[in-house]
Amino acid sequence: MARVRTMFKSGVYRNISTEINLAFLLMIIASSLFVGLVFYQLELLLYGSVRLRADIILMINLGVGVLVSLRNSLTLNESWTWLAPLFMVFSIILILLDYSILGKYLSVVASIFLFFVATRKFQSEVRLGTLIYVLSSFSLFIGNVLFKEELPLNEIIVWWIGFSILSVCAEELLSDRYSRYKNRQPFLAILVFMWLSGAALTHILHTSGWVIVFYILLIQALYLLKKELQTDGIGLYSYSSLFSMASYFWLAISSISGLYFKYPGNTDFEAVWIEMIFLGFVLNTLVAFWNRWYPTSKGQRVSFSEYLLIPFVLFQVSLIANVIGKVWDVPILVVPGAYGITASIVILFAGSFISFIKTFFNADPIVFSKRTR
């Protein structure tokens, strides 16, 4: 308590209400995603081959949405912008409690507010990155509306993927560490608009549109992975970069496999592909964003101990085993892979929660490398 009083007196928390709101929202989103994903994995273990349900996919995507809207709300410093992350958190909780219809409607409302927040951000800071944030929020809105209307998953999922990949592109363009690559911004912008064209085409020429989407995703994954490795030469030394690189790896693998197995025509492969893209790419992106954005907003680094490398390795290896077991029908890999994914989620969110609390109270950081981002 003495330390907290010292922080108040020294003015460390100039806007303590904002910090408390942020802490509360992050804790809620972490616990909601944690419970939902663990229940999914346990269902997989108990009942065998279970699809990654659309409501779980939406929860993961809304998790990214909470962090995106929080980041913009903090920079805009306008009270109404907090409605976007609040509605998203409540939507996740309703879906988790099996009030799916109300959760669907609230997710649409949340995505509308996220679009307004992104538009306001673009008005205050006219840059290519903020424009892409507007497009990413619009992509989430389309996906949530189609989900509410109960369209087939292969018509919805392209827009949900679009939200995450466009958010990543926007973050890279806005990041200070991207300043040396300004000459490459037009290339990334072209990829973004080609992606949007391919996504729209999936509703007209279904197969052709998905082929375009997969090729664009593959190019984006390789481009972002290469840039992550080249960023100040320290990509492998940053915890968030590990998850970023893992997410780009899974994005590339899911794109190649989607082309090879001819998704969405091959319905037998759909469940495996969805796991690759949403557990592999989107969930890794969510963790990377969490660990990168919150400390940046406070001018701090989240403290991490070396044991947090365990859930990272366990999650990636378990997901690889699970995917191989399902694609090539090796049951001996599926169940251990599911157990590993479940265990890694538990360790990851518990460890990240502890690290978050330590950072929130300005604890001395414990990092696994002296080199920082």
172-221: pLDDT as tens digits = 787 755 555 556 667 778 888 888 888 998 888 888 889 989 999 999 99
CA dihedral (264, 269, 273, 274) positive or negative: positive
Let me know: does 140 contact 159? Beta carbons within 8 Å.
yes
The CATH class of 15-360 is mainly alpha
Residue 239: band (very low, low, confident or very high) from pLDDT cuts 50, 70, 90: confident
Q: What is the identity of the amino acid at 244?
A: S
pLDDT digits (tens, 9 = 90+) for 75-96: 787 888 888 888 888 888 787 7
Give the pLDDT mean for 286-301: 61
- Per-position DSSP letters for 94-128, written without gaps between them: HHHTT-HHHHHHHHHHHHHHHHHHHHHHHHHS--H
* Predicted pLDDT of residue 31: 59
Query: pLDDT-based confidence at 41, cuts 50/70/90?
Result: low
Torsion, Cα of 77, 69, 341, 265 (10° steps) = -170
Q: Which of 195, 201, 203 is nearest to 155 (CA)?
A: 203
Please state, in angstroms and rounded to a whole number, the distance separating the CA atoms of residues 322 and 331: 9
When comparing pLDDT for 154 and 249, which is higher? Answer: 249
CA distance 273 to 258: 7
3-state secondary structure at position 329: coil
Judge contact between 154 and 264, C-beta under 8 A.
Answer: yes
What local confidence, expressed as pLDDT, does residue 5 receive? 44
Asked which of 100-109, 177-186, 323-332 is least confident by mean pLDDT, the reply is: 177-186
Range ranked top by mean pLDDT from 151-165, 183-197, 262-276, 297-311: 151-165
Nearest of 246, 254, 253, 239 to residue 303 by alpha carbon: 239
**Mean pLDDT calculated for residue range 293-313:** 63
pLDDT at residue 106 greater than cutoff 80? yes
The answer, yes or no, to whether residue 232 has pLDDT greater than 60, is: no
**DSSP structure class, residue 53:** -
The region of weakest confidence among 22-31, 119-128, 247-256, 329-338 is 22-31
Residue 371: the pLDDT is 37
Give the model confidence (pLDDT) of 246-289 as tens digits. Answer: 999 999 999 999 999 888 777 778 878 888 888 889 888 877 87
Q: What are phi and psi of 78, to 5 degrees?
A: -120, 130
* pLDDT at residue 243 tops 90: no
Q: Is the pLDDT of residue 346 over 90?
A: no
CA distances in angstroms from 58 to 148, 164, 170, 331, listed in the order given: 11, 12, 21, 28
Res 328: pLDDT: 86
Which pLDDT band holds residue 8 (cuts at 50, 70, 90)?
Answer: very low
Torsion angle of the four alpha carbons 266, 271, 277, 280, in this order, in degrees rounded to the nearest 10: -140
Q: What is the pLDDT at residue 112?
A: 95
pLDDT at 54 over 80: no
Residue with tokens 């492969």: 269
How confident is the model at residue 152, as a pLDDT?
85
Would you say 198 and 213 are in contact if contact means Cβ atoms under 8 Å apart?
Answer: yes
Which of 172-175's residues contact partners 24+ apart within 8 Å by CB, and which partners?
172/129, 172/224, 172/227, 173/127, 173/128, 173/129, 173/132, 174/127, 174/129, 174/130
345 CA to centre of own chain = 14
**Cα–Cα dist 170/265, whole Å:** 31
What is the share, in percent, of the chain residues with pLDDT greater than 90? Answer: 18
Alpha helices in 48-80 (DSSP H): 54-76
Q: What are the residue ranges of helices labelled H in 202-308?
A: 206-230, 239-260, 267-275, 283-298
Residue-averaged pLDDT of the chain: 76
| pLDDT tens digits along 113-136 | 999 999 999 999 888 889 999 999
Residue with tokens 């590990």, as numbered in its chain:
242
Span 33-58, mean pLDDT? Answer: 60
**Contact between 213 and 139 (Cβ < 8 Å):** no
